[in-house]
Amino acid sequence: MPRSAKIYIAITVLVGAFTLAGGLSQWRSDDPTRFLCYFLIACLASRFKVHLPGITGIMSANFFFVLICIATMSPAESLAIACITTILHSFWGSAAKTGTDSSVPDRIDSSNPPNSLVDRAVCPRFQDPPRPQLSRVLFNVASVSLAVSSASFWYSLTGAIHTGFGQALMLVLSACVYFVGNTIPLAVLASLVDRKPLIKTWRECYFWSFPYYLVGAASAGMLAIITRLAGWESGFLVFPILYWIHRSYCLYLNRLEEEKNQVQEIASLHLRTIEALALAIEAKDYNTYEHLRRVGIYAAEIGRELALTPSELQALKAASMLHDIGKLAVPEQIVSKPGRLSPAEFDKMKIHPLIGAEILERVDFPYPVVPIVRAHHERWDGAGYPMGLKGEEIPIGARILAAVDSFDSMISDRQYRRAMPPAQVIEYLVAQSGQSFDPKVVEVLARRHEELESIVQVEAARQSHRSMRRTLPEADSIPGLPERERASNSSNPDFLSHIAAARHEAQELFELTHELGNSLSLTETLSVLTLRLKRICSFDSVAIYVLRDRVLVPEYVNGENFQLLSSLRIPLGEGISGWVGQTRDPIVNGDPSVEPGYPAVNPKDPGRHALLKSALAVHLEGPHGVVGVLTLYAAQEDAFTSDHLRILSAVTGKIALTIENALKYQQAENSATTDALTSLPNARSLFLHLDSELARSKRHTSLLSVLVCDLDGFKEVNDRFGHLVGNRVLREVGQALKETCREYDYVARMGGDEFVVVLPGYPREAVEAKILQLTEVTRQAGRNVVGDSLLALSIGQASYPADGADAEDLLSQADRRMYKTKQEHKNRSSVEALRNLANQEAKEGPRASTFPSV
């Protein structure tokens, strides 16, 4: 309770105490017996309480006897009966009271609001605790003392001044004074507690009881005439009549209450149906559900402060839930697009307020929901859509919804941006006040957003509590549910989670199939695949095996035990993946340890490998058969469900086709840059690589050596052993040259029996030693194939920057030097051959000429 209300209560109690003391000090009783009888009747009548329909308060009959006492007894006696029956009434029963009952209002805490679809009462709610508070009783007695004293004084004053007045008219005037004195103190207190205008509070919450006071005054006047004619004892006859009237009225009100409850139940069912359908339509994820709930609470609270009528409030609540229903007509890829919409996409998005309004027009709401939905994207300055309304032309509900919707969207995470701090969002809304948003709405939102956030949090806690108490079928009672899924379903997720999961799955599968064909690079394709699968299925490792010569080779591995899984070579039919590849039947929650090459756990060092305890494997079948196997691994037992298998089975055909195309592209790319015989880079690839190395050498001013190699004796190998052996010689020589060089050196086949070696950063003094090494490994490769030293190697060397600045210059210079070396080898071979022939003739003697002499 505000401090001003407490001060007001204290002042009222103090003034009332002085009034009560002054009134009782002038005690006068002409007939004590009559006083005692009337007192007992008034006490009994105070028990006759009637709960008035549609009002959060009651009506009791004690005010009727207070008016009788004013007309027939002294002011002191009237004051005593009124105060004592008020005290008795405060302790006799604990029903809610307003207006005529002179009770202190207890306002329901605004941080603990009711459900979003249930209206609060317009006037303050009064709530009696089990035991009345002392301040409540004192305030009731004080306010009644002031009211009775004022009414008695006015009755005596009108009687003294205007003796010609009839008693009934005097009672009517006194009843008016009593009504004002009885309700104004309560209205002032309620106004202070609820921070609402006094006149509005009094008119809405208390003025309804004024006719009852007038009826009570007329009835008291008639009873006063009867008692004057037949004696005051005849007043006892009014008690059974009053009880009969009370009983009849209670029965009548009970019927009205039942009908009212039935109507409210139907209306509540209508609203709950709207809420459920709205949530089902909008439940793309939990953020959307939270967004709808938060917007509904914010909008309703702001609407109450801006004095919206009950019909407008109901319309605002329904529109808060249904304002985006028109997005059913907008393609999902536009609604869920993570980036900025293109102009064409934004034009498509603009239709959703009109579509939503058309949908809701068929519902025929009893309150104006459709105009709010149609105009919730209009701007205060007229730059909004779809109709370009501005200022007061926009319905007040749409103005509230526009500001609240923007506020909650900006403080929440979205796919295209992170959440903004509330203070920063409020600054933005204030800056847009008078342009995009209604200034009055922005002012209320800026002033109360922290309070409204606390209301949202309390309501969220209540909703969570209700969800926990909601009874759903036990997992064990659901037929057909696998044993491994019963534990996972024990948490009983609600329908929103299922809808959100279905929408999320559909979106992810759409994006997965859309992105799989965007690249022909196998590594990039499999990387995108793994990233998308991670959003749908939870796993610790993934391996995509490609079938090559009836062996599954891991083409892509990611996650735990990367090196271990990358080293596996799984024959078809062995292990989990091999069995799936051969039988084409998936395996769910298999044991990864049965994969060939998977190491056994060392009990002395169990942490050497992170143990993978379950696997989900599906085959990838393309148009021409099985392409490979996709296997997901998890460190948890029974980590995969039939839903995971269903999701993978839905995309395996697309994955297999994409992998097959990527493999074909990779093969075509390799054939364009790789020599088919030796598997070394070809001449085209050599020039590309040499250009990049030269650019790097120029950038870092480093050396670069190029060796052009040609096989000596290769023609003799072909002539003696055939071309197939010659091909084997080329393969052996190419592999020997590659193994002799460093990892970052480059060995390529130019064509025929020519090879090129690129040595980046190689010092000049080490080139000669490298040439000798290459020559020796070439001779050894020839001996390994043909068993004889028929091969030799002629090498020409050129270096950057001494011999040229581009690839053609270097290769040309090295090629000239290679041919020079080759010619030297031939000359040396010819000299050695003549020397060997001369030595042989010297040993055998001169031979006779085979030609006749001329």
Q: For residue range 2-27, list pLDDT tens digits in order.
A: 788 888 888 888 988 888 888 888 78
**Which of the two residues, 160 and 112, has the higher pLDDT score?**
160
Given a cut of 80, is residue 625 above it in pLDDT?
A: yes
Name 622's bridge partners.
625
DSSP class of residue 27 equals -
Q: Which of 28-32, 221-225, 358-362, 416-420 has the least mean pLDDT?
A: 221-225
Q: What is the mean pLDDT of residues 423-432?
A: 90
Given a cut of 50, is residue 557 above it in pLDDT?
A: yes
Task: Report CA-CA distances (Å) from 618 to 239, 485, 774.
Answer: 88, 20, 48
Spelled out in words, what is the top-level CATH class assigned to the domain 683-841? alpha beta
Rounded CA separation 811/87 (Å)? 116
Q: Which of 117-126, 133-142, 483-492, 602-611 has the least mean pLDDT?
A: 117-126
Tens digits of residue pLDDT in 582-597: 999 999 998 888 888 8
Q: Which of 657, 782, 799, 654 has the alpha carbon at shortest distance from 718? A: 782
Given a cut of 80, is residue 421 above it in pLDDT?
A: yes
Sorting pLDDT into bands at 50, 70 and 90, what band is 564?
confident
Name 835's bridge partners.
none
Tokens for 788, please give them. 């004889």
Q: Which of 134-148, 179-193, 458-472 has the least mean pLDDT?
A: 458-472
Other C-beta atoms lying within 10 Å of the C-beta of residue 194: 18
User: Can you say whether residue 756 is alpha, beta or left, with left for phi > 0 and alpha for psi between -120 and 50 degrees?
Assistant: beta
**Which of the two residues, 728 and 520, has the higher pLDDT score?**
728
Q: Which of 580, 657, 571 has the alpha carbon at shortest distance from 617? A: 580
Question: CATH 1.10.1760 occupies which residues in the chain?
Answer: 3-237
Sorting pLDDT into bands at 50, 70 and 90, what band is 373?
very high
Sorting pLDDT into bands at 50, 70 and 90, what band is 182?
confident
Q: Supply the pLDDT for residue 135.
A: 79
Q: Supply the pLDDT for residue 442.
A: 92
Q: Supply the pLDDT for residue 709.
A: 93
Sorting pLDDT into bands at 50, 70 and 90, what band is 474?
very low
Name 109's bridge partners.
none
Backbone φ, ψ for residue 433 (5° rounding) = -65, 130
Tens digits of residue pLDDT in 320-347: 888 888 888 888 777 777 777 888 888 8
Q: What is the mean pLDDT of residues 559-567?
A: 85
Q: Supply the pLDDT for residue 324.
A: 83
Q: Supply the pLDDT for residue 111.
A: 28
The DSSP H or E segment spanning 554 is strand 551-559
Rounded CA separation 101/107 (Å)? 16
For domain 501-599+610-673, the CATH architecture is: 2-Layer Sandwich (3.30)
pLDDT > 70 fraction of the chain, expressed in percent and rounded? 75
Sorting pLDDT into bands at 50, 70 and 90, what band is 380?
very high
Tokens for 531, please give them. 């990233």
**Which of the two residues, 460 and 251, has the higher pLDDT score?**
251
Task: Report CA-CA distances (Å) from 39 to 30, 47, 233, 370, 658.
Answer: 15, 13, 13, 59, 96
Total count of residues recorded for the chain = 854
Other C-beta atoms lying within 10 Å of the C-beta of residue 544: 24
Q: What is the mean pLDDT of residues 354-372?
A: 87
Given a cut of 90, is residue 395 above it in pLDDT?
A: yes
Residues 6+ away with beta carbon under 8 Å from 57:
51, 96, 97, 98, 99, 100, 101, 126
Q: Which of 84-88, 124-128, 813-817 has the least mean pLDDT?
A: 124-128
User: Can you say whether residue 102 is alpha, beta or left, with left for phi > 0 and alpha for psi between -120 and 50 degrees?
Assistant: left
Q: What is the mean pLDDT of residues 519-529?
A: 75
Tens digits of residue pLDDT in 688-737: 889 888 988 888 888 899 999 999 888 888 888 888 888 898 999 999 99
CATH code that applies to domain 3-237: 1.10.1760
Rounded CA separation 496/464 (Å)? 13
The verdict on whether omega for the bond into residue 386 sits within 30 degrees of 0, i.e. cis, is yes
The burial class, CB within 10 Å (0-12 / 13-18 / 19+), for 753 is buried
Other C-beta atoms lying within 10 Å of the C-beta of residue 486: 14
Given a cut of 70, is residue 486 above it in pLDDT?
A: no
**Which of the two residues, 603 and 205, has the higher pLDDT score?**
205
Give me the chain's average pLDDT, please.
77
Given a cut of 60, is residue 485 above it in pLDDT?
A: no
| Max mean pLDDT range (118-132, 378-392, 639-653) | 378-392
Which amino acid is residue 277, in one-letter code? L
Tokens for 829, please give them. 């071979």
Tens digits of residue pLDDT in 272-330: 777 777 666 666 544 566 777 888 889 999 998 898 988 899 889 888 888 888 888 88
Model pTM score: 0.48
User: For the packed helices 62-72 and 134-161, what is the interaxial angle rounded to 10 degrees?
Assistant: 40
Q: Which of 158-172, 441-455, 640-654, 816-830 has the least mean pLDDT?
A: 158-172
Rounded CA separation 520/268 (Å)? 57
Q: Supply the pLDDT for residue 477.
A: 37
pLDDT > 90 fraction of the chain, expressed in percent and rounded? 11
Q: Supply the pLDDT for residue 605.
A: 52
Any idea what the Cα angle at residue 35 is, between residues 33 and 38, rounded to 5°? 110
Question: CATH 3.30.450.40 occupies which residues in the chain?
Answer: 501-599+610-673
Any idea what the Cα angle at residue 443 is, between residues 442 and 446, rounded to 5°? 80
Q: Which of 760, 737, 766 has the alpha carbon at shortest distance from 810? A: 760
Q: What is the mean pLDDT of residues 383-388?
A: 89
The verdict on whether omega for the bond into residue 113 sits within 30 degrees of 0, i.e. cis, is no
Q: Supply the pLDDT for residue 371.
A: 93
Q: Supply the pLDDT for residue 402.
A: 92
Q: Supply the pLDDT for residue 440.
A: 92
- First-to-final CA distance of the chain: 146
CATH code that applies to domain 283-466: 1.10.3210.10
Rounded CA separation 324/349 (Å)? 11
The DSSP H or E segment spanning 517 is none
Name 617's bridge partners.
587, 631
Q: Supply the pLDDT for residue 104.
A: 35
User: Can you say whether residue 629 is alpha, beta or left, with left for phi > 0 and alpha for psi between -120 and 50 degrees?
Assistant: beta
The maximal CA–CA distance of the chain, rounded, in angstroms, is 190
For the range 528-535, what are the long-range contacts, defined as Cβ-Cβ under 8 Å and sequence gap of 24 or more? 529/655, 529/658, 530/556, 530/558, 532/508, 533/632, 533/648, 535/508
Q: In what order do the strands lie in the sheet with 570-571?
A: 570-571, 551-559, 541-548, 625-634, 614-622, 587-590
Any idea what the Cα angle at residue 457 is, between residues 455 and 463, rounded to 5°? 105
DSSP class of residue 382 equals S
Other C-beta atoms lying within 10 Å of the C-beta of residue 813: 19
Alpha-carbon Rg for the chain in angstroms: 49
**Which of the two residues, 94 and 140, has the higher pLDDT score?**
140
Q: What is the mean pLDDT of residues 195-208?
A: 76
Q: Supply the pLDDT for residue 458.
A: 81
Given a cut of 80, is residue 608 above it in pLDDT?
A: no
Question: CATH 1.10.3210.10 occupies which residues in the chain?
Answer: 283-466
Which amino acid is residue 165, in one-letter code? F
Tens digits of residue pLDDT in 143-177: 888 888 888 887 777 655 544 456 667 777 878 88
Name 634's bridge partners.
614
| Max mean pLDDT range (72-86, 234-248, 773-787) | 773-787
Task: Kindly tell me the sign of the dihedral angle through the C-alpha atoms of 486, 488, 491, 492.
Answer: negative
